[in-house]
Structure 1
Amino acid sequence: MHRTRIWLVIGMLAPSGAAAQSHPLARVSWLVGCWERTVQNRRAVERWYAPRRSMMLGTSQSIRDGVARETEQLRLVTYGDTLVYDAHPASQARTQFRAREVGATRLVFANPDHDFPQQISYTLVAPDSLVAVVEGDRAGRRPPQTFQFRRAECGDVDMSPSLRARAELEALYGDLDRADEQAFTARYDWFGAYAAPGYAYVRWALPGSEVTVTDPAALRDIGQRIGTSLAQLRPRAPRYAALMERVRAAGDTAEVLVSGRLSYRFTDDAGRFGTAGREHERGTVERWIDSWVRHNGAWRLVRTWVFSDEVFMDGRVIVRDGRPLAAEPR
């Protein structure tokens, strides 16, 4: 595996209350903010955004002589009760580290299968000071490395165009999350709400087959039809999350790679999917690319390309890109 460059820093905005402490992501919500480390002409700057449901997004930059040299996309994700640190440096494979310790002043992640590092630990020594230790070399040639960070004002942190666009668009995708949980298929209205003149929603149904292109008005009709169909299942406990996987920006334009996951529970009273009266979990996972343009200070959607669509039930994929499948584990 490739070596992963990691600059992880921890702030001190401790959550309160027993309920907050019980959730692993809530226990590290003090990570939100900007932190930096400076050595001679090089700065390592990391920024974490407020957590949304089971995920917390971050970015890291290495800046030398005032120019951003390296960028890393970061995530903290919960899988059940386990907190996972997900690092994706530019031009490298994504690497995950599972939490071994999550405390009020100490955080430890580990991945014994990684070449370097295999463990990352952080100790909060003061409200604005952190000591991070990166260690564990499978080849046994690299000693532990210690780094000291200090809290920084986010307004003083220079961001690349992609990082700045990501920060600005994050709130819009947060609106998408909330809208679709409140009303099924509200995401189609969301596309229309941010659509620029001439916007097109493009869906590739199957590899090599026809492409469906619709405008905002047609999208709303599609959403209403899907909503009517779903209502027959009497779905409960809907959950929707849109993850900005990648952002590429230049000037007043940006492209965002997005994955959206909708899940809900329902009772199969009629026995359409097996034993009558059994409860199921069902949902969809879509991946798409949004093209944005900033006009008069506001981001507007130019085009949406949906290139992957899966339907799952009870943890197994049953439809992929419109084609029914034998159930596959998900």
Structure 2
Amino acid sequence: MKRLAVLFLLAGCSTATTSAEEEHSLGWLTGCWESEDGIYREVWSSPEHGFLFAYAVSLQDDAVTFFGQTCIEPGPPAVFNAYPAGAGPSPFTERARTGTSIKFANAEHDYPQVVAYWKTGRGLAGRWIRPARFRIPSVRRPTLKGRVRYLGLA
């Protein structure tokens, strides 16, 4: 099956990590990540009792054009619960993990069907994957291109 991927790259500078981040296998997600142009921001909390929480916003002319919330429940397997625009949850189950990456999937979901994050030498990257047959009418999902910056810990 052909897939279309939306890829975004979030890069940042390093800061001191807390003990909770170092102890949690997904602590590397923690922080405030923003595109250099300021259009997209994703903020991940420090791990709390095994859970990670995040919110994301897309901005245009200082107005929010998209928002979403996320909760990663500890596993195994971990579950990525997405709440786009306050709706949800849409659960995605962990399919693969390394020390610096994680991939979640939900084949029954329309878009995306796969959500993946990984740490790079430049920061944080992610991908939302959907089947080619699915079209998004009049909905703009955030796509990050170019350089982005790390704003620090949430």
Same fold (TM over 0.5): yes
Letter in 1 for 2:34: E
Q: CA deviation at 1:63?
A: 0.9
Moved over 4 A (4+): 7-16, 145-149
The answer for the alignment partner of 2:45 in structure 1 is: 49
- Displacement of 1:110: 0.7
Q: Output the CA distance in 1 between the equivalents of 2:111 and 2:151.
A: 31
| Number of the residue aligned with 1:33 | 31
Aligned residues: 138
Higher Cα Rg, which structure: 1
Q: Counterpart of 2:148?
A: 150
Give ranges in structure 1 of 5+ residues lacking alignment: 1-6, 21-25, 156-166, 168-330
Secondary structure (helix, strand or coil) at the match of 1:82 reads coil
Contact 1:84/1:99, CA 8 A, preserved across alignment: yes
Q: Does 1:77 align with 2:53?
A: no
Q: CA deviation at 1:123?
A: 3.3
Residue of structure 1 aligned with 2:124, choices 130, 133, 144: 130
Q: Residues of 2 paired with 1:131 and 1:125: CA distance? A: 7
Shift of 1:10: 8.6
- CA deviation digits over 1:224-283, x for unaligned, max 9? xxxxxxxxxxxxxxxxxxxxxxxxxxxxxxxxxxxxxxxxxxxxxxxxxxxxxxxxxxxx
Shift in CA distance, 140/63, structure 1 to aligned 2, threshold 3 Å: closer
Aligned pairs for 1:80-95 (under 5 A) are: 81-95=76-90
**Matched AA of 2:82:** A
1:50–1:56 CA contact under 8 A, matched in 2: yes
**Which AA in structure 2 matches 1:28?**
L
Distance in 2 between residues matched to 1:56 and 1:15, nearest whole Å: 14
Instruction: Tell me the amino acid that sits aligned with residue 32 of structure 1.
Output: T
Paired residue type of 2:66: E
**Contact 2:97–2:103 (CA under 8 A) maintained in structure 1:** yes
Letter in 1 for 2:114: Q
More helix by percentage: 1
Q: Deviation at 1:98?
A: 1.1
- CA drift of 1:61 comes to 0.8
| Structure 2 unmatched ranges of 5 or more | 1-7, 137-141
Mark the CA change 1:60 to 1:67 in structure 2 (over 3 Å): closer, same or farther: same
The reply on whether 1:108 has 2:103 as its aligned counterpart is: yes
Aligned partner of 1:252 in structure 2 is none
| TM-score (norm: length of structure 2) | 0.70
Check conservation: 2:69, 2:86, Cα contact below 8 A.
no
